[in-house]
Amino acid sequence: MKKLLLLMVAVLVTVCMNAQFKRAYLQATGLTCAMCSNAINKALQAKPFIQSVKSDIKNSAFDIVFKENADVDIDEIRKAVEDAGFGIGSLKLTANFNELKIANDAHVEIGGRHFHFLSVSDRVLNGEQTITIVDKDFLTAKQFRKFSESTKMKCLLAGKAANCCPGVASGTRIFHATI
């Protein structure tokens, strides 16, 4: 009985720990000078889950490395950029995945957060992979319109679980992503 219980716990831990975000690539909008880039850099560096930030002024982009085993808060990244006075044009997150099954218009849990995948083919993610966040405040209006036409689920517009999200409590934050 004890062995069975340990086996069940090991399986649950493996299923729940299917990925840990390692780094991100953020492209900001509204930057006009090096001081703008510096403002975002400082705002991001202040987040407790971020280890380092490297600015690419030419492309208005930032390479972000997360602390190991840190609870990465995607909304806090957005808030830091917006509080600095700018917007996000693109956010790509890289993680090491372990047998994570994804499908178009399906919800999965990654690192304790809920994700709804759009415009993807059925596949299993293994090893280092990058996903792109496609929520309203994480890309341009034109790009968001493209993704909003790819699903009828209401959670895309609200960013919160609705009756369209099986197995996710209503009102839970849902991030929308693609590969």
Three-class HEC string of the chain: CHHHHHHHHHHHHHHHCCEEEEEEEEEEECCCCHHHHHHHHHHHHCCCCEEEEEEEHHHCEEEEEECCCCCCCHHHHHHHHHHCCCEEEEEEEEEEEEEEEECCCEEEEECCEEEEECCCCCEEEEEEEEEEECCHHHCCHHHHHHHHCCCCCCHHHHCECCCCCCCCCCCCEEEEEEC
Give the per-residue pLDDT at 1: 47
Q: Give the least confident one: 2-11, 127-136, 138-147, 162-171.
A: 2-11
Query: At residue 10, does pLDDT exceed 80?
Result: no
- Residue closest to 86 by CA, chosen among 35, 133, 48: 35
Tell me which of 5 and 30 has the higher pLDDT: 30
Mean pLDDT for all residues in the chain: 87
* pLDDT above 50: residue 9: no
- For residue 154, the model assigns a pLDDT of 84
Asked if residue 118 has pLDDT above 80, the reply is yes
Q: Which of 121-125, 166-170, 171-175 has the lowest mean pLDDT?
A: 166-170
**Could you report the per-residue pLDDT of 55-66, keeping only the tens digit for each?**
998 899 999 999
Select the more confidently predicted residue: 32 or 90. Answer: 90
Q: For 105-115, what is each residue's pLDDT tens digit?
A: 999 999 889 99
* 67, 68, 175 from 48: Cα distances, Å: 8, 11, 21
Cα dihedral sign, 7-9-13-15: positive
Residue 18 pLDDT grade (very low, low, confident, very high; cuts 50, 70, 90): low
| Two tokens, residue 134 | 């496609």
